[in-house]
Amino acid sequence: MLFVVTHEHPPELCPSDNPELVKKTVSIVASKAHAEKSGVKVIGSYIAPPEHVLFFIIESNDYGKIVDFFRPIMKMGTLRIMPVSVLGDVASKFE
């Protein structure tokens, strides 16, 4: 299954002013090794720095594995995990 995951944090919790915190937390979710260990496949990851929002496209058949993957940044803000479908696949059901 595919999921779009957003992580949003307030500016005062942004780790960008604390390089050590970035190394410990945010860089983990950018790590292929962490994704493999968590059992998820990261299709894409993006950031909108001025908005303090991160976006991920994740593939997994286990919701719990997605939660495990994002555990390092969960307390830093709000995490939304939304299952999504390929638009063409859904649209074809109406033909």
| Domain CATH number, residue 73 | 3.30.70.1060
The predicted-structure confidence for 55-65, as pLDDT tens digits, reads as follows: 999 999 999 99
- Strands of the sheet containing 53-59, edge to edge, are 41-48, 53-59, 2-8, 78-84
Q: How many domains does the chain have?
A: 1
Residue ranges of the alpha helices (H) in the chain? 19-24, 32-38, 63-70, 87-92
Read off the tokens for 15.
């780790």
Residue with tokens 């190394």: 23
pTM greater than 0.75: yes
Q: What is the pLDDT of residue 14?
A: 87
Domain that holds residue 12: 2-92
